[in-house]
Structure 1
Amino acid sequence: MLNKRSTNGVVVQKNISWIALSLLILVSGISAMTNEINVYSHRHYDSDRILFSRFTKETGIKINVIKGSADQLIQRLISEGKNSPADVLLTVDSGRLYRAKEAGILQPVESNILKRNVPEVMRDPEGFWYGMTVRARVIVYSKERVKPAELSTYEDLAKPYWKGRIVARSSSNIYNQSLMASIIAANGSDKALVWAQGVRENMARAPRGSDRDQARAVASGLADVAIMNTYYLGILANSSDVADREVAKKVDVFFPNQNGRGAHINVSGGGITASSKNKNSAIKFLEFLTSEKSQKTFANVNYEYPLKIETNRSKLLNSWGSFKADTMNLSILGTKNLEAVKLFDIAGWE
């Protein structure tokens, strides 16, 4: 109780401070006491809701989800520091996972199950983050105006042949930054800059919109090819909007660089936060998401490739054909992100 005999407020203030401290300790420990984990997630898909519910049913561990953009969640974790209630960070693109690691908000994890479930190239070499699903960044083309034989590599899109025929989103988008980072790693900075300049010159309009907007532009006849992630085409093909389903029917997928390094891939993934009070449960959660059963759900519900791409059984994904994926360790995309941004700026790719 507060000391009501105090006339100067000192004792009252001291008791209030003790009460506040006690509440902080209580809030920090409540997840552990109630067998819960707090997940900060940039993902917003039906597949995740299905799997989170399944995980709770199978393990008894409740999941509290806090959603936001990747940048918002990373900044929030930085601001909260060691007092953050978060146990897991889920986001998309290894470039963002690299940022989280560099910001010091993730901790390394040793798990034989995660090592078995997640191919080496799709996880941080030091165990700070692990891939969860795979996306391929491909060329989507008009079935009416482009023949597959006309397509070959990402590099080929910079040639004059494609003048006025390409659409792509802004260079501020992490997906394009990671693609550019992969080209820097494969070909060097000088050639990567020439590529970015060539593709920008070949665009039918200034970069804008989402990946789905690029497919819509191709279907409408504004452009002939687009650079985009495969799973967005799956979303269009299964949309409740008839117009979007028509868009999907008018375009098809081409996997570039099949005679070389392979198509550029990236992951959505997660890591255990540095502040986690429920590390064991959080690890169990990541192990569950990377399991074979969960991988099938991601593929069938959200049209993302499983971590072991060759095990894919999704009818839609298989309709696009099998492909050779680039085997570059995805952590490299994070290390070259700043250079990619700089080269895009020099190239005039807005």
Structure 2
Amino acid sequence: MTSIRTIALGAVSVLALSAGSALADGEVNIYSYRQPELIKPLTDAFTKETGIKTNVLFLDKGLVERITAEGANSPADVILTVDIARLTEAKEGGVTQPLVDENINSQIPAQYRDPEGNWFGLTTRGRVLYASKDRVSEDAITYEELADPKWKGRICMRDGQHAYNVGLFASMVAHHGAEYTETWLAGLKQNLVKKPDGNDRAQAKAIHAGECDLGLANTYYLGLMKTNEKDPEEKDWAASVKVLFPNAADRGTHVNISGMALTKNAPNKDNAVKLMEFLASDEAQTIYAEQVFEYPVGPNAKVSEMVASFGAIKADPLPLADIAANRKIASELVDKVGLNDGATQ
């Protein structure tokens, strides 16, 4: 039987992981920002292949703080999380250790790895434009065009300081410099139909309602909406939009990652490395990518039918480490131009 124990937050979880299980043979402890049900197929497959049990602690915030507080006795072996911001937060917070592993490096392109081996990307999500099928005739667009006055009053987006948007803006700084990006952000601001709000799904909802024609969003939300049986109205939102992959004709679309890292004091390091090697494999990436509606980065991993239906993606080859290095500047520019205030008259 495969085994996965999802451990809740709180005092009980501390006892559950620290009362001997962390140091037992044949186990590995995962601290995850990803929902347990999303990674269960992965951990089940890993246990079936290796016999190593997996213990999963899910947190919705405070992962780095949790591991820091636990100190040298932390039971955490592997971190699973999303977005370059959280991966670099873990590295800068001193809770990861470098890993040089040829099995992993051969599977994951250098642009999706920390140069020092502190984190590794497993799947990517594109930061794209949801466009109204009825009101947007264009089938191609660039990020630069979002500042064009022809889109005035037609764009909607979530908070400019959200990690997903800051990542995109940091890529613009990396490509064009801070001065250009400031001007570009000011132009984007003037094209907003309202102040940034909601999440990525809310942008599809707004397009469906006729409030805007374009919305910045991640690709995977389309899969989540199309398969949402609990809230079927989201299927209508998804059906009303098409996906435009910005800069497909030149440098490619900005992507971010779901990734993994080896913790600084991993008590089950050998098993942790085995898990990370498995997660980097084409088999695991195919499973993972299908679960989360993302694009696998492995050379032979397969894209799911749902993700393929979004359209082909040409990813910007800019290293994620370069984007991370420009996040602070990008965030400052968001405030400088008052992006979250919306367009001014």
* Percent identical: 41
1:347 aligns with 2:334: no
Contact 1:47–1:297 (8 Å) recurs in 2: no
Query: 2:300 & 2:153 partners in 1: Cα distance?
Result: 36
Query: 1:232 & 1:80 partners in 2: Cα distance?
Result: 34
1:68 aligns with 2:59: yes
Query: 2:256 & 2:303 partners in 1: Cα distance?
Result: 19
- Pick one of 135, 141, 145 that aligns with 1:145: 135
SS across alignment from 1:31:
helix
1:174 aligns with 2:155: no
Q: Output aligned runs, 1:297-316, within 5 Å.
A: 297-308=287-298, 312-316=302-306
- Pick one of 52, 72, 76 that aligns with 1:82: 72
Q: What are the Cα deviations for residues 74-131 of structure 1, in whole angstroms up to 9, with x where unaligned?
A: 1212222222111111110112211211111100011111011111110111111111
The code of the aligned residue for 1:91 comes to: T
SS across alignment from 1:261:
coil
SS across alignment from 1:207:
coil
Contact 2:36–2:58 (8 Å) recurs in 1: no
Matched with 1:41 is 32
Deviates more, 1:289-298 or 1:208-217: 289-298
- CA drift of 1:309 comes to 7.5
Query: 1:27 & 1:302 partners in 2: Cα distance?
Result: 30
What's the TM-score once normalised by structure 2's chain length?
A: 0.89
1:223 aligns with 2:212: yes
1:201 aligns with 2:190: yes
1:56 aligns with 2:55: no
* Closer/same/farther in 2, CA of residues 250 and 310 from structure 1, 3 Å limit: farther
Q: Output aligned runs, 1:85-100, within 5 Å.
A: 85-100=75-90
1:263 aligns with 2:286: no
Matched with 2:224 is 235
CA RMSD of aligned residues (A): 1.8
1:183 aligns with 2:134: no
Query: 1:293 & 1:197 partners in 2: Cα distance?
Result: 44
The code of the aligned residue for 2:174 comes to: A
- CA drift of 1:134 comes to 0.8
The code of the aligned residue for 2:144 comes to: E
What's the TM-score once normalised by structure 1's chain length?
A: 0.88
The code of the aligned residue for 2:322 comes to: I
* Closer/same/farther in 2, CA of residues 67 and 311 from structure 1, 3 Å limit: closer
Q: What are the Cα deviations for residues 10-39 of structure 1, in whole angstroms up to 9, with x where unaligned?
A: xxxxxxxxxxxxxx9x94764232422211
Deviates more, 1:52-61 or 1:102-111: 52-61
Query: 2:186 & 2:339 partners in 1: Cα distance?
Result: 7
Query: 2:25 & 2:301 partners in 1: Cα distance?
Result: 37
* Bigger Rg over Cα: 1
- Pick one of 83, 103, 116 that aligns with 2:106: 116
Query: 1:227 & 1:337 partners in 2: Cα distance?
Result: 18
- CA drift of 1:299 comes to 2.9
Structure 1: tracts of 5 or more residues without a match: 1-23
Query: 2:286 & 2:18 partners in 1: Cα distance?
Result: 36
- CA drift of 1:297 comes to 1.6
Q: What are the Cα deviations for residues 157-210 of structure 1, in whole angstroms up to 9, with x where unaligned?
A: 111111111111112211111101100000000111111111122111111111
Contact 1:128–1:272 (8 Å) recurs in 2: yes
1:324 aligns with 2:314: yes
Q: What are the Cα deviations for residues 242-277 of structure 1, in whole angstroms up to 9, with x where unaligned?
A: 211111111011111122211001101010110111
Query: 1:262 & 1:140 partners in 2: Cα distance?
Result: 16
Matched with 2:120 is 130
Matched with 1:162 is 151
Query: 1:98 & 1:189 partners in 2: Cα distance?
Result: 21
* Closer/same/farther in 2, CA of residues 315 and 144 from structure 1, 3 Å limit: same
Q: Which has the higher helix share?
A: 1
Contact 2:154–2:214 (8 Å) recurs in 1: yes
SS across alignment from 2:128:
strand
SS across alignment from 2:339:
coil
Contact 2:219–2:310 (8 Å) recurs in 1: no
The code of the aligned residue for 1:59 comes to: T
* Closer/same/farther in 2, CA of residues 172 and 38 from structure 1, 3 Å limit: same
Query: 2:301 & 2:280 partners in 1: Cα distance?
Result: 13
SS across alignment from 2:62:
helix
Q: How many aligned residue pairs are there? A: 324
Structure 1 runs (4+) greater than 6 angstroms displaced: none
Query: 2:250 & 2:166 partners in 1: Cα distance?
Result: 21
SS across alignment from 1:117:
coil
Query: 1:51 & 1:94 partners in 2: Cα distance?
Result: 21
Structure 2: tracts of 5 or more residues without a match: 1-14, 341-345
